Amino acid sequence: MIEYRNLRIALLGAGSVGSQVAALLLEHGDELAQRVGAGLELVGVAVRDPEKHRDSDIPFELFTTDAESLIVGADIVVEVMGGLSPARELITLAMTSGADVVTANKALLATHGPELFELAEQLGAQLYYEASVAAAIPIIRPLRESLAGDRIERIYGIVNGSTNYILDRMDADDLAAEDAQQIALELGYLEADPTLDVEGYDAAQKAAILASLAFHTTVPLESVHREGITNVTREQVRSAREAGFVVKLLAVCERLVDPTSGEEGVSVRVHPALVPRTHPLGAVHGGNNAVFLEAAAAGPLMFYGAGAGGLQTASAVLGDVVSAARRHVLGG
Ligand code: HSE
């Protein structure tokens, strides 16, 4: 039986992820309410231009341009607008107003994560970000919670779906890089600025987030070595194939020990790599992602699935919304 008051959810952004978050909340609200023990009420959707959303399935009266007023009355703020500003300021406002925050914003967390986490800690707010890395694949919560008692030595994997799609088409269909990229663009796999994907910025942001969590340290984005796929040619992919390898854009996060001083550090890098076709990462096709990690006690673990897509990312966002809502209910 639901006895708790309705929890007010403010959504910032109604792009491919935001519109799916709204749709899931509106369609499955009753079921989620049963799970949480409180109603989850979508009280507004902040966008730049509501007119652009007139044909959307979201009731038009929920749209507003006044993100600040929407945030101030909310229990949970979901930021899926992307970009650094005004996302940073709005998340700060949300936490200082007493709301918990759910974000999918990898660029923001990789750049301003430490400051936002510190603020959350000071205020006793929660900042959830499962959707920031590898979309639907649960990887943030396993690192934060399930593996919190273990020592992670190494994480490596494919964390960018669009470049994996491009390399996969070059490998499977012998396409030239430009042709494969054009198809990825048409399928909507690439970021609005495709440079973010093909030059490895997106993967570097995700690697910084994973490494910071896994190694309990701050990994600044500037310290991540980054090389994208723009220099990978069809001929290289072909030669790799003939030799039993496949070219993949890998994110690699490792602990390092300085042999002289014994001091511990981390190495985080993103670059194209030759992966044996027999390795499970060699079998990650299309826009999928896969993350391997090696933990001292748990041993090797692999996480695999859809790493991009509005609905898939919305699944991770909704999981965080339910966690935040449960915290409200349990905390009274
Ligand atoms: N452009 C990103 C990718 C979207 O291709 O993986 C998901 O973060």
Q: What is the pLDDT of residues 198-250, one digit of tens each?
A: 999 999 999 999 999 999 999 999 999 999 999 999 999 999 999 999 999 99
- C-alpha 181 to ligand 1 mean position (Å): 13
Instruction: Determine whether the shortest distance from the Cβ of 162 to ligand 1 is under 6 A.
Output: yes
Task: Please report, for residues 47, 130, 158, 187, 188, the alpha-carbon distance to residue 287 in angstroms, rounded to integers and kept in the order given.
Answer: 28, 18, 10, 10, 11
Instruction: Determine whether the shortest distance from the Cβ of 168 to ligand 1 is under 6 A.
Output: no
Residue 106 bears catalytic tag = no
Give pTM, 2 decimals.
0.96
Instruction: Determine whether the shortest distance from the Cβ of 199 to ligand 1 is under 6 A.
Output: no
Per the structure block, which two tokens stand in for 150? 């273990």
- C-alpha 328 to ligand 1 mean position (Å): 31
pLDDT tens column, 125-145: 999 999 999 999 999 999 999
Instruction: Determine whether the shortest distance from the Cβ of 288 to ligand 1 is under 6 A.
Output: no
Backbone angles phi, psi at 149, to 5 degrees: -95, 0
203, 159 Cβ separation under 8 angstroms: yes
Task: Please report, for residues 3, 13, 181, 306, the alpha-carbon distance to residue 310 in angstroms, rounded to integers and kept in the order given.
Answer: 32, 12, 19, 10
Q: What's the rounded Cα separation, in Å, for the pair 218 and 200?
A: 20
- In this prediction, residue 4 carries a pLDDT of 86
Q: ipTM more than 0.90?
A: yes
33, 2 Cβ separation under 8 angstroms: yes
